[in-house]
Amino acid sequence: MRAGIVTLALASAVLSGCVTGSPPAPAFHAMLNQPYRLDAGDRIRVTVFEQDNLSGTYAVDKSGYIVLPLVGAVPARGKTSTEIQATITAALRNGYLRSPDVSVQVEQYRPFFIMGEVVSGGQYSYVPGMTAQNAIAIAGGFSSRADKRTVDITRQVNGQVITGRVLITDPIYPGDTISVKERLF
């Protein structure tokens, strides 16, 4: 009798630890509804009306800056395209152009990463509106041992790295790292 209780308690502890993952913090999903903030790896298209030599595509470098003609280095990390637009406009107005008309759009988002129980883990291009399931499909699909219901997503939220277990139908974000876990049975 006693051996049966110990076995049952041990099995319960093992299964309860494996079935549940840590749910994401509220900020984890809240950032999906916020304006997109730039970071290293993003490419933006800057258009200065009637100034072809100032218009172009610029990459946000590892230190979080874009480098523009005349203006030089402009901090971009953590800023929205609207904020960058205002910064560039102000810089061009400061001795270069009388009333610059600037437009900024994200041309290419930073990549996402996927690893674990997928056919081909690695770095892939992000497309707006992607879910974890789309990311898995891009990585060649699940391996034969994959947990096909949930994934762990690690993302940077307000300067902190947060990991949460979510359904595969959850949206992903540029720069996310998706980890597909192995199923137990």
CATH number at residue 55: 3.30.1950.10
Question: What pLDDT score was predicted for residue 12?
Answer: 42
**Is the full-model pTM beyond 0.85?**
no
Cβ-based neighbour number of residue 38 at 10 Å? 25
Question: What pLDDT score was predicted for residue 21?
Answer: 59
Three-class DSSP category at 20: coil
DSSP character for 42?
-
Question: What pLDDT score was predicted for residue 91?
Answer: 94
Cα separation, 94 vs 144, whole angstroms: 60
Which of residues 90, 108, 126 is at a domain's end?
108
Nearest to 102 by CA among 169, 54, 168: 54
Q: Are residues 103 and 115 in the same domain?
A: no
Residue 114 lies in a domain: yes
CB 179 within 8 A of CB 121: no
Q: How many domains does the chain have?
A: 2
Residue 13 lies in a domain: no
Question: What pLDDT score was predicted for residue 27?
Answer: 73
**Helix count and strand count (H, E) for the chain:** 4, 10
Q: Are residues 102 and 155 in the same domain?
A: no
Which of residues 65, 87, 108 is at a domain's end?
108
Question: What pLDDT score was predicted for residue 17?
Answer: 40
Segments of the chain with pLDDT less than 50:
4-20
